[in-house]
């Protein structure tokens, strides 16, 4: 993951996505259309080729079945949001589980936050179908995996010592591991991008920390090995 080649955001991302999605959009169309995506990534921060290729595969293979989707790169502390048409809606930094790992501990959804062992405060990797719904202690949230109690919600300032807004605003991903497993984004990004895009639900692709891409996204990797052609 950490050694993946990286390219600049956002223009190259849009063009690479267009090339990857032959039959869905052309590179010329993408170049001519105005870029209206919300960009909250720190200046100069880049997006990995893996993220770009995965986004192209999702659209070309129709893996999200026309629903909006997000690709979440824990290593880079980034979340990229796409509409059901495959167009980029926004990109922003995020906060993730304090523990490095991709598993979900059995029974974790039934524990209070203070009861979750440090080793199990992970943001799981994989493909998840989620949507908005109520929570016990945070009101209405965007559930990524309800059974594992993993959601996306705005950064809170309830524990000043955690410095979550400052971590989110820092120029590197080095300090973005602080949550109990949920994903935090800025209140502005949540309101401008997450809420309108996922009002009727969507699909979430979370890249792994330690697991391989082959076991996390086997169909994507099979397509990648075959030259990027969708089945």
What is the pLDDT confidence band of residue 20, given thresholds at 50, 70 and 90?
A: very low
Instruction: Pick the more confident residue, 116 or 55.
Output: 55
Rounded-to-integer distance, Cα 3 and Cα 87, Å:
27
DSSP letter assigned to residue 5: -
Tell me, what's the pLDDT at 64? Answer: 96
Contact by Cβ (8 Å): 40, 15: no
Name the more confident of 48 and 107: 48
> What's the token pair of residue 181?
């497993």
* pLDDT(22) > 70: no
- Kindly report, residue by residue over 171-184, the tens digit of the pLDDT: 999 999 888 888 99
Q: Are the C-beta atoms of 205 and 71 separated by less than 8 Å?
A: yes
Question: Which sequence spans correspond to the domains of the chain?
Answer: 6-224
Q: CA 116, CA 105: separation in Å to the nearest integer?
A: 9
Check whether 34 has a pLDDT greater than 80: no
Give buried/exposed letters for 159-172 (b at 16+ CB in 10 A, else e). eeebebbebbeeee
Under 8 Å CB-to-CB from 44, ≥6 apart: which residues? 171
Is 80 exceeded by the pLDDT of residue 118? no
- Res 184: pLDDT: 93
Q: Which fold has domain 6-224?
A: L,D-transpeptidase catalytic domain-like (2.40.440)
pLDDT band (50, 70, 90) for residue 62: very high
Which two structure tokens, joined as six digits, stand for 216? 């996390």
Mean pLDDT of 196-211: 96
Q: How confident is the model at residue 136 (pLDDT cuts 50, 70, 90)?
A: confident
């Amino acid at each position: 993951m950490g050694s993946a080649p990286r390219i600049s955001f956002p223009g190259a991302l849009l063009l690479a996505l267009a090339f990857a999605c032959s039959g869905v959009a052309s590179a010329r169309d993408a170049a001519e259309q105005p870029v209206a995506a919300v960009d909250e990534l720190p200046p100069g921060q880049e997006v990995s080729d893996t993220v770009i290729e995965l986004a192209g595969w999702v659209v070309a293979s129709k893996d999200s079945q026309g629903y909006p989707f997000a690709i979440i790169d824990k290593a880079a502390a980034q979340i990229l949001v796409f509409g059901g048409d495959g167009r980029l809606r926004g990109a922003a930094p995020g906060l993730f589980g304090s523990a490095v790992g991709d598993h979900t501990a059995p029974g974790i959804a039934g524990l209070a936050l203070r009861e979750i062992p440090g080793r199990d405060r992970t943001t799981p990797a994989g493909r998840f179908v989620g949507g908005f719904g109520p929570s016990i202690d945070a009101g209405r949230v965007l559930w990524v995996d309800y059974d594992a109690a993993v959601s996306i919600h705005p950064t809170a300032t309830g524990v000043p010592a955690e410095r979550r807004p400052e971590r989110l605003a820092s120029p590197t991903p080095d300090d973005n591991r602080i949550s109990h497993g949920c994903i935090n984004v800025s209140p502005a990004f949540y309101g401008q991008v997450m809420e309108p895009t996922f009002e009727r639900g969507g699909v979430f692709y979370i890249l792994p920390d330690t697991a391989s891409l082959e076991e996390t996204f086997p169909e994507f990797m099979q397509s990648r090995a075959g030259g990027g052609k969708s089945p």
